[in-house]
Amino acid sequence: MPLYEFYCPDCRKKTEELCSSDVGSIKCPACGKDAGKIISNFRTGRSSTGGGTASSSCGG
Ligand SMILES: [Zn+2]
């Protein structure tokens, strides 16, 4: 079961919830308001150290 992170703007805290389905938001356990899901590690890419190559290869 995937673990998702949710952020409550009211508490300004993150909450981890195990959700079987891909939900958009949950109820904050602290205040009960809507806590939006956080997209963590959207693109895990190594940050290029130095260098300034402005090239984008997007060929498919
Ligand atoms: Zn809250």
Ligand 1 centroid to 43 CA: how many Å? 27
Taking CA 12 as the corner, what is the angle to CA 10 and CA 13, rounded to the nearest 5 degrees? 120
pLDDT tens digit sequence for 2-59: 888 999 999 999 999 887 777 888 999 999 999 999 876 555 556 555 555 556 666 5
Here the tokens at position 46 are 């190594």
CA 8 to chain centre: 13
Q: What is the pTM of this model?
A: 0.59
Enumerate residues with CB within 5 Å of ligand 1 (an ion). 8, 10-11, 28, 30-31
Query: What does the domain layout of the chain look like in residue ranges?
Result: 3-38
Cα 6 to Cα 24: distance, rounded to the nearest angstrom: 9
